[in-house]
Chain A
Amino acid sequence: MKSLERDLRALRDAGRKLLVPYFMGGVSENWTEHVEAAVLAGADAVEIGIPFSDPMMDGPVIQEAALRALSRGTTLDSICDDLVRLDVHVPLIAMTYYNIVLHYGLERSAGKLSSSGISGAIVPDLALEETEPWIAACDDTDVATVLLVAPSTPPRRVDRLVATTQGFAYASARMAVTGKSEGGGEGERVVRSIRRSSDVPALIGIGITTPDQAKQAAEVSDGVIVGSALVQTILNHASASDVESFIREFRSALDN
């Protein structure tokens, strides 16, 4: 078992609801300070976006963040370089698109992410049927491949996805790309379908915008991923202490 799943299971088994915020790598000069602030405020792991020009699974907020990061010259290498100065002790999970790691070289990118302290990767356009080369490239590293389960995924396919995913299962709350949403979505149903065949940690993401939504989602799941709502505050030039308060609100909702 790779360290990501071990770490998340340990937290889950200790009764903690997991809070995983998303940051776009390289979106601003001080982006690593935002990550540190989030961890200080109680984030259990952090997703780090590596920007791609054509992010098919992302809504307008993360698209905008990706464009801003790219216009600053952000690359996989520059993000890994920035991580050297990051002083946190929670799992880091890369989120990017397949062409970025394919172009860098699958084994080379797995090695680079791993040696930069990243212990997981989410590649949303890498369908189950195409994951094998990437998982093989990560075999000799500590990088876990995290797969998504969607509301549209039929039961038998859910079983195959959770048998293959590493670290945790990413339960999509909605048939939608990343971004703001109202209401509870279908995350609870997706988590129940994951639970039928596995006790791998299951986190709900996509459209978790408010602390209330997070609290509700965590009632059946092991925790939540918060992306666009947080990235929006950063696009609006949030300071590190703004990020800290943002995360504290979610932390408090999950803990009470």
Chain B
Amino acid sequence: MSTNNTYMNEPDDRGRFGEFGGRFVPEALMPACLELEAAFTEAWNDTTFVDEYHTVLREFAGRPTPVTPLTRLGEHLGLRIFAKREDLAHTGSHKINNVIGQTLLTKRMGKHRVIAETGAGQHGVATATAAARLGLECTVFMGEVDTERQILNVFRMELLGSRVVPVTTGSRTLKDAVNEAMREWVTCVSDTHYCIGSVMGPHPFPWMVREFQSIIGQEAARQLLEFGVDHPDVVIACVGGGSNAAGVFAGFANSPSRLVGIEAAGGSAVGSGSPGVLHGMRSLLMQDEFGQIEEAHSISAGLDYPGIGPEHAHLAQTGRAEYYAIGDEDVIPALQLLSEMEGIIPALETAHAVAWLAREAGHAIPSGSTVLLNLSGRGDKDVAQVQAILRGQS
């Protein structure tokens, strides 16, 4: 494996990471994508904008989030484990990092409204939160199935002054919420920014969202030094579209650390997908023999996505990062393990990464290894579902 500074740099001028990425959108949206690319490039090189982004993250979003040594779990598994505590960020997950960047950019572009898609509601709540803070109008598209599963998050978004539109087309989940947000964006692109929630979509979104999330990895690298760790042996994160993983990987992509992304078995684009084009990007997708996109099925709505961000597809293809899948049945025990041993109730998404860590300690992860776990979100949103599952089992 090369340790040259060759990973997680800028995509090429067509927005490609290797063969993945690009821009596959209707002509009506192309001018907006080009405008956004120019605006982000300019803003990200402007210290005034970057300072404002960091100031809002510090004063409003609770950054930097700590790194916590997971001592008891480490002893139990024979590893030295550190957790990057994105669960402690405002709104309960890493999603806030991206939306603060994108909503600041929205204002800078002179637009007054944002739209967003959401699955479980985490990105929707984060977008509604940032929009309220910055005085932007906000509309969130959410599959009707998910609005029923996550009724409290719908109410949160409404409390924050946003409008939630239930999406009744297709499978009525995240993939259809993205379609509907794209369709809405065509009609209002002149005054509205589409605040995509993960490292997906047409260029520049995968790159821009990774940049806004890379603060996770940058902070973690610095914080680990304080524990005397130059770089962990393994960096682990869960992957739906892949924004928290991209953010933490970015801090270690050019170190010798192994990078491991954990997908849900029912939404495993790397494990069971093939190259294709969806939602504006060329990436790995779950699809049938005719190129029709398949529906993902996972215990966690946040991993219920049939694709993966194009940069992850590239990292998988080049072998720089490894991707494995965890089935629903291993997720609840992992959530209980972390809760009982460390006093942290993780989100179901995050519990996938914990499950792989617990399963592979002493196997794929040699005993004594130093591990950084990206604790992408807290489990408050999931406790009712977990309770129902555990009651059903007893």
Contacts and interface: CB of A to CB of B under 8 A. Distances in A.
B28 A99 contact: no
Interface core residue of A54, A148, A152 (most chain B CB under 10 Å): A54
A102 B182 contact: no
A104 B278 CA distance: 15
Given A125-B280, A130-B24, A53 B31 contact: no
B56 interface: no
A168 B175 CA distance: 33
Given A57-B26, A124-B26, A125-B277, A103 B291 contact: yes
B109 interface: no
Contacts of A239: none
A31 interface: no
B83 interface: no
Interface stretch (A1-9, A153-161, A191-199): A153-161
A210 interface: no
Given A76-B290, A100-B290, A54 B27 contact: no
Interface in A200-253: none
Contacts of A56: 25-26, 179, 182-183, 279-280
A151 interface: yes
B27 A129 contact: no
Nearest to A75: B290
Given A148-B27, A161-B27, A175-B189, A130 B22 contact: yes
A54 B24 contact: no
Contact of B26 (A70, A76, A148): A148
Contacts of B276: 99, 102-103
Interface residues of A, number: 41
A176 interface: yes
B123 interface: no
Nearest to A70: B292
Nearest to B294: A53
A127 interface: yes
B169 interface: yes
A59 B186 contact: no
Contacts of B22: 129-130
Interface string A102-129: 1110000000000000000000111111
Contacts of B361: none
B14 interface: yes
Contacts of A53: 170, 292-293
A177 interface: yes
Interface residues of B, number: 35
B290 A126 contact: no
B31 A127 contact: no
Interface in B31-82: 31-32
B287 interface: yes
Given A127-B25, A127-B30, A149-B27, A54 B186 contact: no
A151 B28 contact: yes
A128 B30 contact: yes
A157 B27 CA distance: 10
Contacts of B95: none
Nearest to A170: B27
Contacts of B187: 175-177
Contacts of A98: 24, 277
A147 B27 contact: yes
B3 interface: no
Contact of B169 (A52, A63, A157): A63
A150 B278 contact: no
A166 interface: no
19 contacts: A53-B292, A53-B293, A54-B279, A59-B183, A60-B169, A63-B169, A67-B170, A75-B290, A98-B277, A99-B277, A100-B291, A102-B277, A103-B276, A127-B24, A129-B14, A152-B189, A175-B28, A175-B187, A176-B186
Interface of A: 52-57, 59-60, 63, 67, 70, 75-76, 97-100, 102-104, 124-130, 147-154, 157, 161, 172, 175-177
